[in-house]
Chain A
């Protein structure tokens, strides 16, 4: 029995262990990484990925999958680089509209019982199209306040780390600790029971998709603040990256089993993995494949642990 419990715990710790496994070799190779500027540089791009991962997590909580988050983040960045600079009120309106559209899509998916993959795959083209209409060629500028916020120097610990910890704490409190968050996760675990006890699944899904929209908007804006210009293809890779990060963080595709802290750790691990491979002097051609290999190793470990639990 004690063995079983320790294995359950080990599984919960797996995201942290994989982060350490990537972090330690980096520190050994490049001790300078530990410094304020080193960590800032290394983790700079982690913040938008963390936010996009939480958007994906909200949707995986109800056993759906969002294939449009990458194009959506790009669209937000494009809106930020054009409308938000030229006509701020119109830009804000557009972003609010994006969030509402996300919530409406969630309601639609539940009402009509359409597979989320189909809907979001279709939407990804809509978002991409809108981005190209807004910004046909890369360019634009980020609003001054956004650039300032993203380059804000926090004391002692580098800003990306502070941001990530803050986001993890807020997300954890909302989804894992609050009673509303627990009910929403219940809708992923046993939707039939939730309906039976008089909860509205439509409202549940609309809320979660809306939350995903909010995180998507935050991700797009933070990315724009870092890059200071936008492009319709800026964040396309976020779709798969965010799914990988949620799964790496202990989430599962079905059953409402997710972990906010795990997902945040997972997205940081994936960000670091790219740098890790660069430090190893692995050519860029092989890096994507190596990232995949890291994912496969971690997921196999998890399956092994699960099998051990069942025994």
Chain B
């Protein structure tokens, strides 16, 4: 094929023991627009980072213009004309718009570089987003998020010496408004016609439907299907994303819901304008679903705030963090100290104003047996445990307290299957005892444990699914709902 620009052959990438990409075979053709769709963690961003030369693949080979490129790094990618517009913007906020040009273009140096950079940037901005009103000498930190994204996109298409041949657009429209997004999509079509290959990664399937010549659908680090333009409707993309799901659902025994009664009913209003109502009753497991970062964590935090504040929604609440390193473990404390922390706040009875160490030891030993941590001494540092066991300790921390309401922020992130099963069992047992769980997860299979699931999109709930309606198809459709209520 003479039109092949870059060819991936059996590309794989692992981070430690986590496999992010496996056996990717794909050929990017000259002047085509490829849409890339997939759920969170499907490997889209990793694949693009490999293409941009940020990560070196652990397996496989890359061919550029029909020749093998063994040392494919960021500089090589740039020389071959590959540009990337990253999802989290890669602008330096302390520099001006024009100054940001010289970070991607090493050729901009010597006398008059600033003038050349400004001219290049303004020309490209005008071409993609006519009437944008940017002059080039503004500090990036003074721009709105939309303007920053426009600058980032325009910078990706600017040319100094090596021609631009392939541009990766990772969620380019996430902070553009309808008008500028429209301008960008029109430009992408023209650019493709002029021979620039454009890769469009987006959760807005309607955009892929409109501009893509081919659609690559990814799941679990591999490509599950490549749809031609004729077959790339929203519905068929969603279907392709869901078709490779494991049928095995880990729901276990049917849950007993009869003897619950309405002893206590929780109700909170969350979201930007406090107009999304979340209901939960005693002993219920409520799921939060949707794509990552659609406001689920914020909703959990505002529930926590409401529950700790004096007032109607007050409840004894505990929080299980998902990002262990950042919000979970106290790295220099022992396992026991990490475990009984929440118990000290609620549940422990002080003896003459001092901590009752005997009782603390008893609590720690009881939970050690329940969560099944063997081998390690409870006085050893928490970091001596594996990630999964650390997460179990965090669960025990929440459950050992007197909390009636447990909020979980994607707690099984990066945890192995065995630990997950233990955690599910704990959640079911404790829910049966009357504790309420609110469970945000990015893994759709886990939602089968929930009595009711709220699907989030753009910081609002698009749909509430009861346990029996909570199928993969319904979840995906609700997650990609483009006009959230």
Contacts and interface: CB of A to CB of B under 8 A. Distances in A.
Interface in A123-182: 177, 179-180, 182
B74 A186 contact: no
Interface in A175-217: 177, 179-180, 182-183, 185-186, 188-190, 192-194, 196-199
A185 B94 CA distance: 8
A256 B92 contact: yes
B74 A179 contact: no
B113 A190 contact: no
Interface in B30-59: 52-54
A185 B92 contact: yes
Interface stretch (B97-105, B222-230, B343-351, B437-445): B97-105
A177 B103 contact: no
A180 B54 CA distance: 22
B90 A186 contact: no
Contact of B99 (A182, A193, A197): A182
A306 to B, nearest CB: 11
A197 B92 contact: no
Interface string B65-87: 00000000111001000000010
Contacts of B433: none
B366 interface: no
B479 to A, nearest CB: 28
A193 B54 contact: no
Among A8, A194, A198, A256, residue most surrounded by chain B Cβ atoms (within 10 Å)? A198
Contacts of A255: 93-94
B90 A192 contact: yes
Contact of A179 (B86, B91, B110): B110
B86 A198 contact: no
Contact of B108 (A179, A186, A189): A179
A8 B102 CA distance: 24
Interface residues of A, number: 21
B109 interface: yes
Interface in A19-60: none
B353 to A, nearest CB: 38
B95 interface: yes
A302 interface: no
B49 to A, nearest CB: 8
B231 to A, nearest CB: 35
A103 B221 CA distance: 42
Nearest to A176: B99
Given A8-B142, A179-B108, A180-B109, A197 B94 contact: no
A177 B137 CA distance: 13
Contact of B93 (A190, A194, A197, A198): A190
B124 interface: no
B142 A196 contact: no
B413 interface: no
Contacts of A194: 92, 103
Nearest to B84: A196
B135 to A, nearest CB: 12
Given A197-B74, A198-B73, A198-B74, A183 B90 contact: no
Contacts of B95: 182, 185-186, 189
B142 A197 contact: no
Contacts of B110: 179
B234 interface: no
A196 B95 CA distance: 17
B114 interface: yes
A177 to B, nearest CB: 7
Contacts of B86: 193, 196
Contacts of A177: 114
Contacts, number: 62
Nearest to B103: A186
Among A179, A180, A186, A257, residue most surrounded by chain B Cβ atoms (within 10 Å)? A179
Contacts of A197: 74, 78, 90, 103-104
A180 B90 CA distance: 18
B14 to A, nearest CB: 20
Contacts of A179: 102, 108-110, 113-114
Contacts of A257: 94
Nearest to B142: A8
Interface in B366-381: none
A196 B94 contact: no
B91 A193 contact: yes
A256 B94 contact: yes
B114 A198 contact: no
B81 to A, nearest CB: 14
A21 B365 CA distance: 67
A255 B54 CA distance: 23
B104 A186 contact: no
B78 A193 contact: no
Nearest to A254: B94
A197 to B, nearest CB: 5
Nearest to B96: A182
A199 B92 CA distance: 14
A177 B99 CA distance: 9
A196 B54 CA distance: 6
A160 B215 CA distance: 67
Contact of B102 (A182, A189, A190, A198): A182
A136 to B, nearest CB: 42
Given A179-B102, A180-B109, A186 B92 contact: yes
A196 B102 contact: no
A189 B78 contact: no
Given A193-B90, A193-B92, A183 B74 contact: no
Nearest to B53: A198
B103 A199 contact: yes
Contacts of A180: 109
Given A179-B109, A180-B109, A255-B94, A196 B99 contact: no
A182 B114 CA distance: 10
A42 B305 CA distance: 57
Contacts of A185: 92, 94-95, 99
B84 to A, nearest CB: 8
B90 A190 contact: yes
Contacts of B104: 197
Contacts of A199: 103
Contacts of B102: 179, 182-183
B103 A193 contact: yes
Interface of A: 8, 177, 179-180, 182-183, 185-186, 188-190, 192-194, 196-199, 255-257
Interface of B: 52-54, 73-75, 78, 86, 90-95, 99-100, 102-104, 108-110, 113-114, 142
Given A186-B100, A198-B74, 18 more contacts: A8-B142, A177-B114, A179-B102, A180-B109, A182-B99, A183-B102, A185-B94, A185-B99, A186-B92, A186-B95, A186-B103, A189-B93, A190-B93, A193-B103, A196-B52, A196-B54, A196-B74, A256-B94
11 contacts: A179-B110, A179-B114, A182-B95, A185-B99, A186-B92, A186-B99, A193-B90, A196-B74, A197-B90, A198-B53, A198-B74
